[in-house]
Amino acid sequence: MTTATQPRRPGSMNSTLIRDLQPHELPDIEMPACEVRPVLKGQKALVTGAGSGIGRGIAVALCAAGADVMVNYVGDEAAAGATVEEATHCGCTNRGRAIIHRADVSDEAQVTDMFRRIKDEFGTIDILVNNAGLQQDAPIEEMTLAQWSKVISVNLTGQFLCAREAIREFKRRGVRKDVSCAAGKIICISSVHEVIPWAGHVNYAASKGGVMLLMKSIAQEVAPWRIRVNSICPGAIRTPINRPAWETPAAYAELMKLIPYKRIGEVEDIARLAVWLASDEADYVTGASLFVDGGMTLYPGFEAGG
C-alpha cells in the first residue's frame, strides 16, 4: 500500500524544510508605503558619498523630510547633480534645498574645507550621515598594502574626520530648541560585516568593525552635550555596486539563502531609518547599531535546526 505525498503548506512547515521553500510557497512581497513627514524642517545635513546608492537615497529622504542637504561626492559630479535634482523635485511641499560639494573624506584639508562651506551655505550643520565607503577586494595573501590602506582611510578614517568636524560645530553652537532637542546627530553607515566575517574582504570587514567601536566610543563621549551618534548596518541592498548579486534569477535565488525575510533590501529601507534617527522621534537613541538586513545576522544556516 502506498501513501500519496501531501503538498507542503507554509502554515504547517517543519523547520527542517525552511531552506527548501520555493517562492510560490511564500507570501507575495509587498513593499511599504510610508507617509513623508517634515520631521527635519529647518535642519541642515551633510551626506557623504551621496552620488549614488544608499547615499543618494538618504540625501533624497532627508531633503523630502525638510532638511537642507549638502551632497558630497568625490568622482562623478553628474551623479551628484542627479541626486540634487531628485531630492529637490520630489514633489514634497516641505522639501529642503540641496547643493553638491566635492571632497575626499580621507583628506583632512578637504574635509575641513567642506565643513567650512556647509557653514557658509547653510549657517550650521545639524545632521551628519557618514556614508562614503568603498571596497577593494582580494584574498588576504594577495591584498596589497595600498588596497588595505585605501579602504581603511575612506571607510574608517573618513568617518572619524567628518565626525570630528561635526562635533566641533555641534558643541560650538549647542542646542537650538526651535529646531531640535539635540545639538547634533551623527549617523554612521556601517554594514552587517561589522559582525559577520567576510573572507576575501578583510580590509572592508575590518573597516566596518572599526566603525562600530568608533561610533559607540564617540556616542559615549559626546552624549552629555546632547549629541546623538548611531549606526545603520545594511545587509543586501539593491544598488549598482552589488548588481551581480541580484540581477539574474539564479543570483537572486542564491542571495535569498542568506536572507530569512526573503526579499532584497531597497535604499528606501535604509533612508527611512536615517530620517527617523535624525529626527527628535529618536531622541533617546544613541550608541546603537541598527541592522537593516532582513535577518541576515540571524545565522540563516541554522534555520533548519542546524
User: What pLDDT does residue 240 have?
Assistant: 86
- Map out the domains of the chain as residue ranges: 38-296
Which has the closest alpha carbon to 262: 24, 54, 23, 33?
23
Each residue of 170-217: pLDDT tens digit? 999 999 999 999 999 999 999 999 999 999 999 999 999 999 999 999
Residue 1: pLDDT over 50: no
Q: What is the mean pLDDT of the chain?
A: 93
Residue 22: pLDDT over 90: no
Under 8 Å between Cβ of 265 and 166: no
Under 8 Å between Cβ of 98 and 107: no
Residue 280: pLDDT over 70: yes
CA 148 to each of CA 61, 110, 208: distance values in angstroms, whole numbers, following the listed order: 32, 21, 13
CA 237 to each of CA 186, 230, 244: distance values in angstroms, whole numbers, following the listed order: 21, 19, 12
Residue 6: pLDDT over 60: no
The percentage of the chain sitting over the pLDDT mark of 90, rounded to a whole number, equals: 83
User: What pLDDT does residue 28 have?
Assistant: 87
Sheet containing 227-234: order of strands: 98-102, 68-73, 44-47, 127-130, 184-189, 227-234, 289-292
User: What pLDDT does residue 95 have?
Assistant: 87
| Per-residue confidence band for 119, with pLDDT thresholds at 50, 70 and 90 | very high
Contacts of 106 (CB under 8 A, 6+ apart): 153, 154, 157, 158, 161
Instruction: Mean pLDDT check: name the lowest of 94-108, 172-186, 240-254, 286-300.
Output: 240-254
User: What pLDDT does residue 305 have?
Assistant: 65
9 versus 291: the higher-pLDDT residue is: 291
Contacts of 29 (CB under 8 A, 6+ apart): 262, 263
If you average pLDDT over residues 112-133, what whole number do you get?
Answer: 98
If you average pLDDT over residues 44-50, what whole number do you get?
Answer: 98
Q: Is the pTM of this model over 0.85?
A: yes
Each residue of 76-117: pLDDT tens digit? 999 999 999 999 987 676 789 999 999 999 999 999 999 999
Half-sphere exposure of 229 (CA within 13 A, CB side): 28
How many C-beta atoms lie closer than 10 Å to residue 128's C-beta? 29
| Per-residue confidence band for 39, with pLDDT thresholds at 50, 70 and 90 | very high
User: What pLDDT does residue 203 have?
Assistant: 98
User: What pLDDT does residue 15 have?
Assistant: 54
User: What pLDDT does residue 9 have?
Assistant: 52
Residue 142: pLDDT over 50: yes
Under 8 Å between Cβ of 50 and 73: yes
Tell me which residues are annotated as active site.
204
Domain at 38-296, CATH homologous superfamily: NAD(P)-binding Rossmann-like Domain (3.40.50.720)
